[in-house]
Each structure stands twice: as C-alpha cells, then as structure tokens.
Amino acid sequence: MRKRGTSEQLLREARWRETRMKAKRAMRYPWAHCVLALLAEEPTVYSDGGGKVKAVGRPIRGPDFVSRFIAGIWPRFMAPMERQYVNINGSPGLIMRSQGQVHYAFSFEIANDRVRNIYIISNPDKLRHVVANG
C-alpha cells in the first residue's frame, strides 16, 4: 500500500505540474516574452557545446542578461526546427531537430513555480543518446 503524501507535498506536486504545463505552453509560441515571464528572480543559462559546436562559454546570470540572451536566440529556434517536449532528468525539456538531426536539448530547472536554470546542450556527443531514444 502506497503511503499518502502530506497536503504540503501534494500542493508542491500540483504546483510543479502546473508550472511544467505553463513552460510547455510558453515554448510553443514564438514570443520570447512568454518564456521570459516564467523566469525566476535570478535565473542562469548554462550551455554545453563540448568544444565541437558553438555555445556560450560562461554561464549567463541575472534576469537582464538571460532575457537578452533568450530574446536574441529564440527566433532562431522558432524557425523550421521541430520541437519535441520531453522530460529530461525529471525537468521539463525541449528537443530541437532539423531534418531528423537533433541540434539542441533544453532542460528547465523549476523552483517556486519559476524557471531558475536553463541548460542548453548542443554537444553532439551528449546528444547521441537522444537520437537513439528518439
């Protein structure tokens, strides 16, 4: 028999599900402000190209810099890339493909109903398993 969670745990889980759904809806629209509206007070973007593809060298920290970064790159991702909404290590995620090839994996770390960290993986070595798992 499964032990029931406390009302606080259940409330946290419900908020988590709601935030994930908001993040998914925001990612479907081309307006960067939809995603920006979900950012935490001190968000950070981490990017990993593995030295093989272009990526941001250092973490981007703070709402102003993260907002500018997202607003600058988002139109590029809304172009003819296919988007697949997935769960990446328990967090909402987004896989970006073009002509069947995976180019990016985004993972969104949620805290207090807001996106605290964004992880962007473009390292082809790390994306190989995404292709295998389709």
> Using one digit for the tens of pLDDT, what is the confidence trace for 78-130?
666 888 888 888 888 888 888 888 888 888 998 888 999 999 888 888 888 77
CA 58 to chain centre: 17
Q: What sign does the CA torsion over 88, 71, 25, 112 have?
A: positive
> Using one digit for the tens of pLDDT, what is the confidence trace for 43-85?
999 988 767 777 778 999 998 888 888 877 776 666 668 888 8
Contact between 104 and 46 (Cβ < 8 Å) = no
* CATH class, 7-133 region: alpha beta
Number of residues in the chain = 134
Hey, what's the torsion of the CAs at 28, 32, 34, 36, to 10 degrees? Answer: 130
The domain locations on the chain are: 7-133
